[in-house]
């Protein structure tokens, strides 16, 4: 594994966080034990900023770049958007076929 940057997010298919890494599950961390990471992300994802801060919560989410997308939608750092479920109507699904 290449040398990571503090605050880097990587995709990982395991059921454990490798040594020195944490899952992005929105958990609250003590600043006193993670001061370098806190200096980078502050309270962007929560916490009181005095004793605690939070990691981003990527459960059922994917990270995207902040800024304005091609459709004109602007996303701020730390913002959550989207839905976990979406119901499509028949009219929203284009005609198609599957080879069997």
Name the range with the highest mean pLDDT among 39-43, 58-62, 69-73, 90-94: 39-43
Instruction: Tell me the three-class secondary structure of the chain, residue by residue.
Output: CCCCCCCCCCCCCCCCCCCCCCCCECCEEEHHHCHHHHHHHCCCCCCCCCCEEECCECCCCCCCCCEECCCCCEECCCCCCCCCCCCCCHHHCCCCCCCC
pLDDT at 89 over 90: yes
Predicted confidence at residue 1, as pLDDT, reads 63
Q: For the whole model, what pTM was predicted?
A: 0.76
């Amino acid at each position: 594994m290449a040398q990571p940057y503090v605050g880097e997010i990587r995709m990982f298919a395991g059921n454990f966080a490798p040594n020195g890494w944490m899952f992005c599950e929105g958990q609250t961390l003590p600043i006193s034990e993670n001061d370098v990471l806190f200096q980078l992300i502050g309270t962007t994802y929560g916490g009181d900023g005095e004793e605690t801060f939070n990691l981003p919560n990527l459960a059922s989410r994917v990270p995207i770049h902040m800024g304005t997308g091609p459709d004109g939608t602007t996303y701020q750092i730390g913002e959550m958007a989207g839905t976990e479920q979406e119901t499509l109507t028949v009219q929203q699904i284009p005609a198609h076929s599957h080879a069997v």
